[in-house]
Amino acid sequence: MWLPGHTPLHGRSIAVIGDGPLCETVRRDAAALGLHVLDAPDADLAIVPASGELADLGPEAFALVREEGRTTAHVGGAPGALYAWFQLLREAAGGPDTSGTASATTRFAPEHDLRMLDHWDNVAVHPVMGQVERGYSGGSIFFRDGALRADLSRVERYARLLASIGINRVAINNVNVHERETHLLSEGLASVERLAGIFRPWGIRLHLSVSFAAPITLGGLGSADPLDPDVQAWWTDAVAGVYAAIPDFGGFVVKADSEGQPGPFAYGRDHADGANLLARALRPHGGIVHWRAFVYNHRQDWRDRRTDRARAAYDHFAPLDGRFDDNVIVQVKYGPLDFQVREPVSPVIPAMRRTRVALELQVTQEYTGQQRHAVYLAPQWREILDFRPFGDDGPRLAELVRGGIAAVSNVGDDRFWTGHPLAQANLYAYGRLAWDSTLDPGAILDEWAALTFGSDGSASDDEAVRRGIRHLLDDSWRTYESYTAPLGVCFMVSPHGHYGPSVDGYEYSPWGTYHFADRDGIGVDRTVATGTGYAGQYPEPWASVYESLETVPDELLLFFHHVPYTHVLHSGSTVIQHIYDTHFAGVERVRDMVAEWDGLEGRTDAALHARVSERLAEQLRSAIEWRDQINTYFLRKSGIPDERGREIY
C-alpha cells in the first residue's frame, strides 16, 4: 500500500504545535518516519494553529505557507494537523521539492464533512457470501470466524492509510445484518469499542450497520414499529449503551426494506418514519443515521414490462423530501440500479434538495471485475461527481450531496490488501476525490504511484513504473466497459457471483434487471412517451435529453431505449456493429495492458509483479470470454454478420 516506511523527509525536522491525540499521532508518525520532532517552530516543517487571516479555516482544513525553504501548515483544528501532515508527505513524494519555491499560501479544505467507507464484513462467516460480502481480497481485517481478530495490527495500519486520504468515518459491518452481527449492539460491543479505539487517533469515527428489526431480534419486543413508544425507548436505551462505551461513536447505517432486510413497510410506515426513529435516539449524542435508498422490489415478475426497478428509489424517496431529520443522511447509490460499469446518475439526488443526501460509490469491484480485472474507477467517479443534474448552469453533483460521500471498501487480509495490487489505487482515489472532487484522476494516479512505489531510491522509484501504471490504468474503466455489457444495458453478468458474462443470466429472474433482447433489437424503453417513464424522473434538460433518441448519449442508449440492431449511433456505427467493434477492441486493449506490465518486470517488487501478471492473464482470458459470448449471442439473435468478417461463433 501507499505510505511505506520511508519518505524523502527523512532527517528533516518538524514541529507540531498543539495538544490532543491527533497532534500526538502526527508527532509519533513523523518520528517513526525518521524526522526530528522538535518543539520549536523554527523546524524545517511546522504545523501550527491557524490565526489571523487564516483563522476562518474549519477544523479539518489547513493552509500551507511556504517561505524561505520552510513550510508551515496553519491548521483550523486537530484534524487539520493530521491532514496537513499527510499533504506534506504527499508533496515530498510527488517529485520536485516545492517547499523551496517562492512564497505562497495554499488552502486545503474538504468539500464534505462526511467522507466515509463502509465495510460489508460479517462477523460470522456467511454460508454463501463468506466473511466479507462482495469482498475480493480475502478475509476481513476486523473479524475472523465469528469473533474479533486477535491481531489487529492491520487495522492500525488501515486507519493510518485512511487518514492519509482524508477518510473520517468507517462503518465496520455488512449492511445485510445477519444474526451474529445484530449482537454487535449488545455483547459484541466490546469488540466495537476496541476497534473505535484504533481508529480514534487517526481522526476516524466508527459506525455500525444495524438491523431495523433489532428491537425484536435483540430486544425481545413484539414489534419494530417506528411509532411504537416501546420501540423508541428500546432504541434510546440501545444507543445510550453504545455511547457509554464509545463517546465519539458515529452512528448507524441501515438497509431497510431492501432485498429481504426488515424495515418500516411492515408496519405501514414510510422510510422517513423509520430513519427518524433512529435519528432521534442518536441525536442527543451527536450521532447520525445513514439510511440507504437502495429500495426496490426484488421479487419482480420478468413478464411485467411496466414495473421498472430503476424508478424505485425515486418513487420511494422523492416524496419524502423534507421529512427527514437533520441527522439523517439518505445514502443513494450513484446509479438507479446497482454499481454497474455504466448507468445514468441517480435522479434521487437532485430530487431531494431539502434532505442531506450522500452519494454512495463502490470501491470494491463487484460488477467491475472483482479485483481480478485492472479497472481504475476514478474516471467514472469524476464523471458522476461532475454531472450537472440541472444543466450546464447548475451545480455539479458533488455540490448537491450535502450528506457527503460513502463507498464500500475493497480491503481484506490479502497480502496486497486488495487482491489486485493495482486496486489499491481505487481506494486511494476514492479518499482523494471525497476530499476534493475536482482532482484529476490521472494526477491522483501519479500521486498514488509515487507514494506506493517508493522514494527510497530503489529500482521501483522509477518514472517508467509510474508511466506504465498510467498507461495501464488511465483508460481501464472504459476498456472494461468495452468488452462487457454494451451501451448502458447493464447486468449481463453471472447471477449471484456477478463475475463473468451471462447475457441472459438475469433476463428471466425476479431481480428487475432485463435487456429484452429479441431477434430485432435490444434495450429498455424508459421513456415517458412509450416506456416506464423513468426518464421523466430527471429535471430538465436531462429528462428531454434522455427521452429522445436524437439526444441520448450513445453510452446510455440501451438504458433508455429499445432500438433495432440496425439503429445508427451518434458515432455513425450501428448498434450491432458497435457491439462487435468494441468487444474486439476491448480484448486488444487488454493485450496491450499485459504487454505494458510485462515490460515493467524487474522494476517493482517481484511478488507484486507476479500477482499483477497473474491477474492480467485472468483479465485477458475473461475479456475473451466476454467478447465471444456477447458477440455470439448477438450474432445468433440478430443474424447480422460482422462487417469486418472477424470470428464469431
Which range binds a second copy by CB under 8 A, 163-171, 195-203, 470-478, 515-523? Answer: 515-523
Least separation in angstroms between CB 627 and a second copy: 11
Active site residue 399: no
Tell me the Cα Rg of the chain.
Answer: 25
In the region spanning residues 520 to 539, those forming contacts with a second copy, defined by CB under 8 A, are 520
Which is the catalytic residue, given 228, 259, 446, 605?
Answer: 259
Least separation in angstroms between CB 304 and a second copy: 9
Range list of β-strands (E), 371-411 = 405-408
Would you say how long the chain is, in residues?
649
Say whether residue 649 binds a second copy (CB under 8 A).
Answer: yes
Tell me how far apart the alpha carbons of residues 376 and 551 are, in angstroms, rounded to a whole number. Answer: 28
Least separation in angstroms between CB 637 and a second copy: 6
Which range binds a second copy by CB under 8 A, 46-54, 270-278, 302-310, 598-606? Answer: 302-310
Q: How many CA atoms lie within 13 A of 156 on its CB side?
A: 6
Judge whether 326 and 302 are in contact, CB under 8 Å.
Answer: no
Judge whether 292 and 244 are in contact, CB under 8 Å.
Answer: no
Say whether residue 146 binds a second copy (CB under 8 A).
Answer: no
Going by C-alpha positions, the residue among 290, 191, 202, 190 that lies closest to residue 250 is 290
Active site residue 596: no
Tell me how far apart the alpha carbons of residues 360 and 160 are, in angstroms, rounded to a whole number. Answer: 22
Which is the catalytic residue, given 111, 118, 121, 338?
Answer: 338
The total of other beta-carbon atoms located within 10 Å of residue 383's CB is 16
Active site residue 338: yes
In the region spanning residues 147 to 176, those forming contacts with a second copy, defined by CB under 8 A, are none
378 φ/ψ angles, rounded to the nearest 5 degrees: -55, -40
Tell me how far apart the alpha carbons of residues 465 and 259 are, in angstroms, rounded to a whole number. Answer: 43
Least separation in angstroms between CB 561 and a second copy: 18
Say whether residue 512 binds a second copy (CB under 8 A).
Answer: no
Judge whether 486 and 558 are in contact, CB under 8 Å.
Answer: yes
Directed axis angle between helix 153-164 and helix 78-93, to 10°? 80
Q: Binders of a second copy: how many residues, by CB under 8 A?
A: 23
Least separation in angstroms between CB 130 and a second copy: 11
Residue 366 to residues 97, 372, 546, Cα–Cα distance (Å): 39, 10, 27
Least separation in angstroms between CB 635 and a second copy: 8
Going by C-alpha positions, the residue among 583, 533, 520, 540 that lies closest to residue 560 is 533
Least separation in angstroms between CB 507 and a second copy: 8
3-class DSSP state of 297: coil
Among 399, 504, 592, 614, binds a second copy (CB under 8 A): 504
Judge whether 526 and 307 are in contact, CB under 8 Å.
Answer: no
Which is the catalytic residue, given 91, 366, 413, 581?
Answer: 366
The total of other beta-carbon atoms located within 10 Å of residue 247's CB is 11
Say whether residue 637 binds a second copy (CB under 8 A).
Answer: yes
Among 410, 513, 574, 638, binds a second copy (CB under 8 A): 638
Say whether residue 499 binds a second copy (CB under 8 A).
Answer: no
Interface pattern 304-333 for a second copy (x via CB under 8 A): -x----------------------------
Q: Which three cell numbers stand for residue 60?
A: 479539518
Q: Which three cell numbers stand for residue 422?
A: 493495482
Say whether residue 303 binds a second copy (CB under 8 A).
Answer: yes
Q: Which is nearer to a second copy, 508 or 602 (CB)?
A: 508
Say whether residue 508 binds a second copy (CB under 8 A).
Answer: yes
Q: Which is nearer to a second copy, 267 or 302 (CB)?
A: 302
Q: Which is nearer to a second copy, 303 or 644 (CB)?
A: 303
Q: Which three cell numbers stand for residue 253?
A: 447505517
Active site residues: 259, 338, 366
Using CB under 8 A, list all residues that contact a second copy: 302-303, 305, 501-504, 508, 517-520, 625, 628-629, 632-633, 635-639, 649
